[in-house]
Amino acid sequence: MEQLPGGRRLRLASSLGLGQRCWEVTLDEERGLLAWRDPRPPRRGADNCFVPTSEIIAVEETEQNKKQRSTGKWQKMAKPHAFTVYYVKKARNHRWRCRDVTFWCADEYLCNQWIQALKELLEMQKCRPKQLLVYINPYGGKRQGKRIYEQKVAPLFSLASISADVVVTEHANHAKDNLFEVNISKYDGVVCVGGDGMFSEVMHGLIGRMQKDSGIDQNNPKAPLAQCNIRIGIIPAGSTDCVCYSTVGISDPVTSALHIIIGDCQPLDVSSVHHNNTFLKYAVSLLGYGFYGDVLKDSEKKRWMGPMRYDYSGFKTFLSHHYYEGTISFQPAKHTLGSPRDKDSCRTGCCVCKESEQQLAEQRKKCGFKHEEDEDEWKVIKGKFLAINVVNMSCACPRSPKGLSPAAHLADGTADLILVRKCSRFDFLRYLVRHTNRDDQFDFSFVDVYRVKSFQFTSKLSEDNESSVTDIGKKRFGQFCRDHPACCCNIANSTWNCDGETLDSSAIEVRVHCQLMKLFARGIEENCTDEAAYSHSSIEQLL
């Protein structure tokens, strides 16, 4: 064993038993790896294996009882001492699983030395949570939230020595209200078990609590909001899990639980939505007006249908083919890397988000919470639209693997504004189909996309009722009508779809707040197979 001055371990190497053979096992703290190698000459199926120490879940002393392959009988080895290492195993499609490997030796001191070294290494992982506050929505999705937590998540938390205070919500906004009352400082994170609605409720509670404690008025649309440093974990158990899918790459409870255990951290942009200097909602994924707003409004009347209501309402809304006339004003996002039309998707270690993080740190160092009003020019677009979508992330999901905006970033302080102008049903169908394949969904003459940091929308109905002029001096107008001329006299409002919840007001003002909150996630990793990530085939054959 090599050591640094002061006794800090750099490298621990031993010959340990694995299965029925001896393997060379190395713990390299400097490289951050636990590796084991078969010392015999290389042969097919006998690979070198390693695990990053940051992805070790736990280590435990183990009773060593193994089945002898030669006789097929159970036989206790002479005074064996063993320990088991639990670690993250990465599979295809971003799926993670908890696996284990057991090493043994005849020397009790050596065994204890390994256990102590590994436990000290885990203690050094300061980003890992020790105490969590868990909210479970027992009614969301297929009503499986409580079962999923108890059977799949709680055992993993227990293995990792994480204690949790669990609250099963009893009504809407239960979690949000509770977060304004609890002693939040005693927790290392908040976990929500449910769908996007449950996440939204916890997010509103945490951000609202932070603004209240900081004395910030949420009703002021230009107020710089206080960053929420406590992380949120999402255990997917709902009808839609867009936020989880877009930040982890898969909607899987075990994968999400493992991201929480190892203490991953992913900053996330949040948009604030206001109407007439009144705070309405926060949004992290989709703000949709027109098509997606109409789908949500219709589906809310058919909740008894379950998840199928979205398909039914989507088909019905597509046939109705409503379009809406209005005016959009927005501030283009300048001084940012990338654009909505490039092919650079947001992935783990995204350079675009890192650059934004550095700029944010410099701005806070210079100004703190002092806000300087942006003087950037506002652009105004008037037209007839089938859909107006604003996304802070790709909004990827199993049905739309690329999402509404494949190149949107999680933490660059911007949102992608997508305008789908009035077109034929056939053209609109072509656009919708592009969400399900790899073709460029913005490559249509009737689709415009912009990267923005704030925007406003006003309809004619709002203009007629309020006769107001915005503070940037741009008059807005709008008119609502149907595709068929005979129906133009039937004026109606569309609805804003804000992360799956309806907003009553059609005229809104939206501002993107860079990295306002943090998740227990690391962004979507580049696709890799088991073999590319780790070589475990030989281990599983031996155990």
Catalytic residue ranges: 196
Task: Please give the structure tokens belonging to residue 116.
Answer: 């102590």
Instruction: Quickly count: other Cβ atoms within 10 Å of residue 407's Cβ.
Output: 21
Question: Which whole-number Å values give the CA distances from 328 to 350, 398, 468, in the listed order?
Answer: 30, 31, 15
- One DSSP character per residue, 267-315 reads EEEEEEEEETTEEEEEESSEEEEEHHHHHHHHHGGGGGGTTHHHHHHHH
* Rounded (to 5) percent helix, strand, coil in the chain: 30, 30, 40
Strand 131-136 with 163-168, pairing: parallel
Question: ∠ at Cα 417 (306, 522), nearest 5°?
Answer: 70
The secondary structure element, H or E, covering residue 259 is helix 253-261
The Cβ of residue 345 has, within 10 Å, a number of other Cβ atoms equal to 18
Contact between residue 267 and residue 518 where contact means Cβ atoms under 8 Å apart: yes
> What b/e string do you get for 321-342 counting C-beta neighbours within 10 Å, with b at 16 or more?
bbbbbbbbbbbbbeebebebee
Distance CA 328, CA 476 (A): 8
Pair of tokens at residue 432: 């919708």
Q: How far is CA 396 from the centre of its chain?
A: 11
**Phi-psi region for residue 395, left (φ > 0), alpha (ψ -120 to 50) or beta?**
left
Cα 321 to the center of its chain, rounded Å: 32
Q: Which two tokens stand for residue 100?
A: 């284990």
Residues present in the chain in total: 543
- Residue by residue, DSSP assigns 94-160 as G-EEEEEEEEEES-HHHHHHHHHHHHHHHHT-TTS-SEEEEEE-SSSTTT-HHHHIIIIIHHHHHHT
Q: Collapse the DSSP code of 342 into the 3-class scheme (helix H, G, I; strand E, B; otherwise coil) and give the result.
A: coil
d(CA 442, CA 436) in angstroms, rounded, equals 13
CA dihedral 262, 263, 264, 265 (to 10 degrees): 180
CA-closest candidate to residue 392, choices 498, 535, 476: 498
The burial class, CB within 10 Å (0-12 / 13-18 / 19+), for 117 is middle
Non-local (6+) Cβ contacts of 218 within 8 A are 208, 211, 225, 272, 279
Tell how far CA 52 is from the center of its chain: 22
